[in-house]
Amino acid sequence: MKLRSYAVSLCCACISQAAEPFPGTAVLIQDGDIASQLVSAADDFLLAEIEASVSTRAEYWKRDVSSEEAYAKSIASNRQEFRRIIGAVDQRVSFDRLREQRFLGTSGQCDVYAITWPAFADVHGEGLLLEPTDGEARGNIVLIPDADQSPESLVGWLGELPRERQLGRKLAERGYRVVIPTIINREATHRKLSNREHLYRPAFELGRHVIGYEVLKVEAILDWLVDTYDISDLRVAGWGEGGLLAFYTAAVNSKVKQAFVSGYFSSRQSVWEEPAYRNVFGLLAQFGDAEIASLIAPRRLVIEAIPGPEVVVPPGTGGKPGRLASASVEDIRAEHARAVKLTGLFNAAERLRLGDLNDFAPAGEQRLAMPDISLPDVKARHARQLAELDRHNQQLLVESPYTRASFMKDLKTDSLANFQETVEPYRRYFADEVIGTFDRPLAEPRPQSRVFLETEEVTIYEVVLDVYEGFFAYGLLCWPKDIAEGERRPVVVCQHGLEGRPQMVIGEDGYHYYQAFAVELAKRGFITFAPQHLYIFEDRFRTLQFKANAVKKTLFSLMVPQHEQLTRWLGGLPNVDPQRIGFYGLSYGGKSAMRIPPLVPAYCLSICSADFNDWVWKNASTRSPYSYASMGEYEIFEFDLGSTFNYAEMAALIAPRPFMVERGHFDGVAPDERVALEFAKVRHLYSAKLKLPDNAAIEWFDGPHRINGDETYRFLHKHLDWPEP
């Protein structure tokens, strides 16, 4: 790569092919694009973790099959965790009558109603009720459409489905009372995002999910059926997205006695390939479809092994590229066999079986004729459902600061000693439940290096360190030439931003917003290191986030151990003071500055440049033009930050170590007032509570999204105890 000067005379650099590597390292012979190789290594690592999850998830289960009561008790914590990760956590509204029951028509044998019912908060379910006129129903079934089906289409009134797929009609004709709810469709109405992804993004950030919301709606109408008709044989059924929702509802709600899952059942090992609205944080850590089926046991589950909906979200739409593809019959049978094995004696043939609608709701006598009805306004109903869930997400966002305050209530700030003791459980929670950690030791670093660039003032080395088997760290080490023998100096790790490379922070043309800060700091006497991070190559790295999410991990689950290895190696160099290693990152590097130092104690300070803001608001607001909720960064969302850690809370995990924000007034990340509000909380912690006013600072400068290198440099000199030039 050809580099030219930004702030130093790099044009006079001379690199010899015979130049010695950095002392104590082997010669780096790796060629090609190492950044690309790093992303590929991360991809291979995560795919291996997904493959291993089938066997490792067994450690989360302690099934007791000695009796049905013992079994239910033994899986209770798994059911609770499944409910949490699908976001079905809002308190349902108790009600004894429907909000609306509007008569649409009758055949004399079957009455049809448009119904609305309270579900949770200010959210309602809406759909159709098919009621035998004589009131003598054979059973009660909530039939859930696919996302691209309306309730009316399942009864044949819109002419969209062939008669054999009109399951609502079939069930009503067989004498069942049938409720068919409306679910959110896949149409793209928000900047090319599907409606489901549009709701998924803020919900995910707030610890909810479009899946969970719809499960809660189904549970609410199930409660009404129980209370109204004094029944116990409740059933749920669905195809495609409706099959998923029927499956998940039965898994979390033991009132459901029978479930029919059609066009949705497989191992889920490729869930990362599906659209974003199927992403469930930590799903494969505990649950494949066999494990979810075991949450239904010993109740009855019928799986229909037919194709599901075929959906493709192409790249370039603004949403996550993905596809829904039907599992093969062989894959369905294999996962079914695994489910049978997991639950043993509870899987007699009539309880967990592959079958069809006749196995779930036998045909019997064809009792009912379907009436013609006055059709409701299907589009207006869907718009109401969409608007209610969007409004609920925004209400959760408004409430989220109070939720986080409650979460942080055990953090003591009456003394520095008490703070340092009580902050540790929060760091552990952040590591395990937000970022995600791999339970394995670091590999031996086996450092390799070669000279990348040399000037009169610094020598810049490419360095590669092993992190895990098959996964490594790479970056540029800037070594000042005036270091005396035996002298120990501080280190600043200089982190690039989105789609960046280490070369950008040393002065590559066209990247002036970095101000060559890794070299500028080296000229001031600091040793600097510029790591290559994983957020490069667009969809390649964004897909990594979904692979990581599947096993309860994130991109930072891999970047944190990279920095653990990096700081360990740097701290062991003879001219480095291991107590004086700081972190300074711009943009996505600023995101790193909020997430990596809390979990890497070797960092004695952190500077967040061009990123610090009200992060939960930036991800969850569907009103703000600054929000990621409708932008192309489809991987950026982190599960349940709204209830746990905004940037002020992350800064608390860095405390009492020095922390600084660098902020340009015209930075498009967020408006000044949002940055100021969030930083005020940080200032209050450091100054008012911990009595460390010098350890927290913010620099406001008249500029855009870039390194300013004024007050931040002074901050580094002060807190890394190195004299200013």
Q: Tell me the per-residue pLDDT of 498-509, one tens digit each, with 9 for 90 and over.
A: 999 999 999 976
pLDDT at 32 over 60: yes
Q: How far apart are CA 199 and CA 642, in angstroms?
A: 15
Among residues 220, 249, 250, 190, the alpha carbon closest in space to that of 126 is found at: 220
pLDDT at 354 over 90: yes
Specify burial of residue 626 (Cβ count, 10 A radius: 0-12, 13-18, 19+). Answer: middle
In the structure, what pLDDT confidence band is assigned to residue 107 with cuts at 50, 70 and 90?
confident
pLDDT at 59 over 70: yes
- Cβ proximity of 77 and 85 under 8 Å: no
Same fold: 10-51+401-719 with 91-374: yes
**Which run of H or E residues covers position 677?**
helix 672-683
- Give the burial string for 535-562 (b: 16+ CB within 10 Å, else e): bbbeeebbbbbbbbbbbbbbbbbbbbbb
In the structure, what pLDDT confidence band is assigned to residue 365 with cuts at 50, 70 and 90?
low
What is the C-alpha end-to-end distance of the chain, expressed in Å? 31
pLDDT at 364: 67
Residues whose CB is less than 8 angstroms from the CB of residue 264 and which lie 6 or more positions away in sequence, other chains included: 238, 239, 240, 241, 242, 243, 244, 247, 308
CA atoms within 13 A on the CB side of 215: 27
**Of 596 and 231, which is predicted with more confidence?**
596
pLDDT at 190: 78
- Cβ proximity of 514 and 496 under 8 Å: yes
C-alpha to C-alpha distances, 26 to 17, 22, 34, 479, 550, nearest whole angstrom? 15, 8, 17, 17, 37
- Rounded average pLDDT over 191-196: 91
- Cβ proximity of 181 and 126 under 8 Å: yes
Q: Which amino acid appears at position 123 of this protein?
A: V
In the structure, what pLDDT confidence band is assigned to residue 109 with cuts at 50, 70 and 90?
confident
φ and ψ at residue 101, rounded to 5 degrees = -140, 90
pLDDT at 625 over 70: yes
Q: pLDDT tens digit string along 527-550?
A: 999 999 999 999 999 999 999 999
pLDDT at 448 over 90: yes
3-state helix, strand, coil in the chain (%, to 5): 40, 20, 40
pLDDT at 6 over 50: no
Q: pLDDT tens digit string along 701-710?
A: 999 999 999 9
Which 3-state string (H, E, C) describes 572-597?
CCCCEEEEEEEEEEECHHHHHHHHCH
pLDDT at 12: 37
What superfamily in CATH does domain 91-374 come from? Alpha/Beta hydrolase fold, catalytic domain (3.40.50.1820)
**Averaged pLDDT score across all residues of the chain:** 94
Q: How many CB atoms lie within 10 A of CB 97?
A: 11
pLDDT at 526: 98
**Which run of H or E residues covers position 130?**
strand 123-132
Pick the CATH number of 10-51+401-719 from 3.40.50.1820, 3.40.50.300, 2.40.50.110, 3.40.50.720: 3.40.50.1820
pLDDT at 368: 59
Which 3-state string (H, E, C) describes 461-490?
EEEEEEEECCEEEEEEEEEECCCCCCCCEE
Count of H helices and E strands in the chain?
A: 21, 23
Per-domain residue ranges of the chain:
10-51+401-719, 91-374
pLDDT at 591: 98
Percent of residues, the chain, with pLDDT higher than 70 = 96
CA atoms within 13 A on the CB side of 354: 19
